Amino acid sequence: MSIRLTPDAVYERLTSGTPNGAGLEVPLYDYDVVIAGSGPIGCAYARTILEDPTIPDARVLMVEIGSQDSSVIGEHHKNSIKFQKDIDAFVNVIKAALQDVSVPPGDTYIPTLVGNGWTPPVNNGTQLIFQGSNPNQIRELNLKASAVTRTVGGMATHWTCACPTPHPEEIRNNPIPQAERDSLFQRARELLNVHNDQYEFSMRHTTVKDTLLETLPAGRNVQSLPLAVERRSDNPAYVTWSGSNTVLGDVASYGDRFKLLSETRFTKLILDNDTPNLIQGALLRDLGNDRDVLAQAKAYVIATGAVGTPQVLANSGIYPDTLGRNLCEQSLAFCQVVMTPEMIDSITNSTNADWQRRIAIHKASHPTDPLPIPFNDPEPQVMIPYTTDFPWHCQVHRDAFSYGDVGPRADARVVVDLRFFGKQEINPNNRVYFPQNLARDWIPGNTDIYGMPQATFEVQRSHLDSVNDQKMMRDLCAVADELGAYLPGSNPQFMDPGLALHITGTTRIGDDPTTSVADRSSRVHGFTNLFVGGNGCIPDSTSSNPTLTSVMIALKACEAVSELLRQPTTA
């Protein structure tokens, strides 16, 4: 299906980018719901709508700027046996997956460049702006390590899968009533396939957990980390990590009611002055063919990440004062320890018959190995949850991130990672902002490398945040001390701001339009058929990992989308 637009209409209504050339034939996709973003939140929306028996014919178009990198839509890359055998190698996958959000222009003057190489003129007052750098970014206010993942499946193609339920203090601003939240959380856990018992037979896991249970006060509530993971029944040495595919469900069963457009940018929503509260369409850009595409639907869902979602709204001219504000990002303290000899001895001397059987098999194959731990013994996955007295979320585990590979420094079987996440006070002045009118305000560096308005951070931690961070670091050191000695090179440290990749608040939900962007159903205030999704919807200061909460919020929103689709007309 296609519609024919006059050149004037194309320029007026579509504005950005080059029109498609002679004839201006613009393909049109006509669906019931258009979802921007194929991460776990876009997929939670898609599945819930597609499996809703009250709207059995509903058709969903999903638009994703990244490419599909696995044969299964949005699968977790860590399901490859290669990475389960060599977790260090996965660090490079994550590094490659992360694209920085805001990079101040570098100092490209190279004093040692001699000979015939171009160098910028010295002291002429201009800044060299290379593609993707942001001249507006003030270094001190940046979330330097904040990044996005542009691929089918979003960040859930590499995430750690930690899904703790937030403590009541981490969810007090959420406008969804608690009883409703509890059942939505349960459905979110099912969609993400969350378990907390998949590591119980592991020697390392049990030893780390028991050591903390014995040495920390009972009030710390040491427990197994709830993870979106399931051990494989055909070979329990491996696990299946939940990716966006897990959330999306059985795509084949949707038939032609579901379509995914990859390497397609959701550029902007099309508004009409005559019906200001109703989105009329969506302008997309087919990146491979470099041409504009239109989509029409009854409902529009923007779930392009905590930076990408306000970015699409801003590019559409939907820029309430609350957009991008109340941004919170978690501080992240990290270290790695090598377990104590006592912990290793407790494995050797364990009375657990299954352990002794596995140790014997290992020793028979590897008689010179000084460690009793079989090579395929799963890693520790332990949590010390947020409490009022210790208001931070602690993961005592072993996993890949964009840092923290062990390499040849130590035997990976005796290394434990400690990642402690600290909250940030809510402050409307902490924000990500975008140039509002690219045609008018365009200056070099004002778009990102995908041609969307450049995101600029203005984020500062408060005095209270610093005090809290200091206490969290002291706690990290105390917990580490119970487990062993610091792995040289991985001493306790705060990671660069933004590295937690847990930005919240930028499209927060709430009942009051002066302090929120969308209502409790994630419907953007002032609009009938526009919904947002993702961690940006979380209105609280949190230290627990956010994805479970964002899925919970999206499930609530789907009820409103469903109601909208059941209405005979949307006008």
Residues near ligand FAD, by CB under 6 A: 36-42, 63-66, 94, 149-151, 154-156, 158-162, 265-266, 303-305, 308, 312, 401, 452, 501, 534-535, 545-547, 550
Q: How far apart are CA 333 and CA 94, in angstroms?
A: 19
Closer to ligand FAD at the Cβ: 37 or 498?
37
Reply yes or no on whether 502 is catalytic.
Answer: yes
Q: How far apart are CA 265 and CA 284, in angstroms?
A: 5
Return the percent helix, strand and coil in the chain, to nearest 5: 30, 20, 50
Least distance from ligand FAD to the Cβ atom of residue 264, Å: 7
Closer to ligand FAD at the Cβ: 427 or 550?
550
Least distance from ligand FAD to the Cβ atom of residue 387, Å: 19
- Strand (E) or helix (H) holding 46: helix 40-50
Beta strands at 194-195 and 227-231: parallel, antiparallel or unpaired: antiparallel
Closer to ligand FAD at the Cβ: 94 or 338?
94
- The encoded tokens of residue 385 equal 């949850």
Closer to ligand FAD at the Cβ: 454 or 545?
545
Least distance from ligand FAD to the Cβ atom of residue 432, Å: 13
Least distance from ligand FAD to the Cβ atom of residue 66, Å: 4
Catalytic residue (choose from 76, 397, 502, 525): 502
Closer to ligand FAD at the Cβ: 160 or 206?
160
Least distance from ligand FAD to the Cβ atom of residue 157, Å: 8
- The encoded tokens of residue 19 equal 């029109």
Q: What is the 3-state secondary structure (H, E, C) of 483-511?
A: HEEECCCCCCEECCCCCCCCCECCCCECC
DSSP string, 111-155: TT--SS---PPTTSS-----TTB-TT--GGG--TT-EE--BTTGG
* Angular region, 445: left φ>0, alpha ψ -120 to 50, beta rest: left
Q: Which of 334, 420, 337, 383 lies closest to 213 in space, CA to CA?
A: 383
Q: How far apart are CA 267 and CA 438, in angstroms?
A: 12
CA separation, residue 309 to residues 146, 426, 541, 545 (Å): 15, 19, 19, 19
Least distance from ligand FAD to the Cβ atom of residue 308, Å: 3
Reply yes or no on whether 352 is catalytic.
Answer: no
Catalytic residue (choose from 79, 174, 326, 545): 545
Closer to ligand FAD at the Cβ: 40 or 484?
40
Helix (H, G, I), strand (E, B) or coil at 291: strand
DSSP state of 167: P
Q: How does 409-440 read in b/e, with b if 16+ C-beta sit within 10 Å?
A: ebebbbbbbbbbbbbbebbeebbbbbbeebee
Longest dimension (CA), the chain: 80
Closer to ligand FAD at the Cβ: 192 or 473?
192
DSSP state of 29: E
Q: How far apart are CA 61 and CA 407, in angstroms?
A: 43
Least distance from ligand FAD to the Cβ atom of residue 439, Å: 18
Closer to ligand FAD at the Cβ: 456 or 545?
545
Least distance from ligand FAD to the Cβ atom of residue 255, Å: 23
First-to-last CA distance in the chain? 23
Amino acid at site 76: H
Q: How far apart are CA 38 and CA 436, in angstroms?
A: 25
- Let me know the angle formed at the C-alpha of 294 by 36 and 317, rounded to the nearest 5 degrees: 65
**Residue 566 φ then ψ, to 5°:** -75, -20
Find the length of the chain: 571
Least distance from ligand FAD to the Cβ atom of residue 385, Å: 14
- Give 132's contacts (C-beta < 8 A, 6+ positions apart): 103, 448, 449
Q: How far apart are CA 511 and CA 527, in angstroms?
A: 14
Least distance from ligand FAD to the Cβ atom of residue 163, Å: 6
- The encoded tokens of residue 71 equal 């044969």
Closer to ligand FAD at the Cβ: 92 or 567?
92
Closer to ligand FAD at the Cβ: 373 or 395?
395
Active site residues: 502, 545
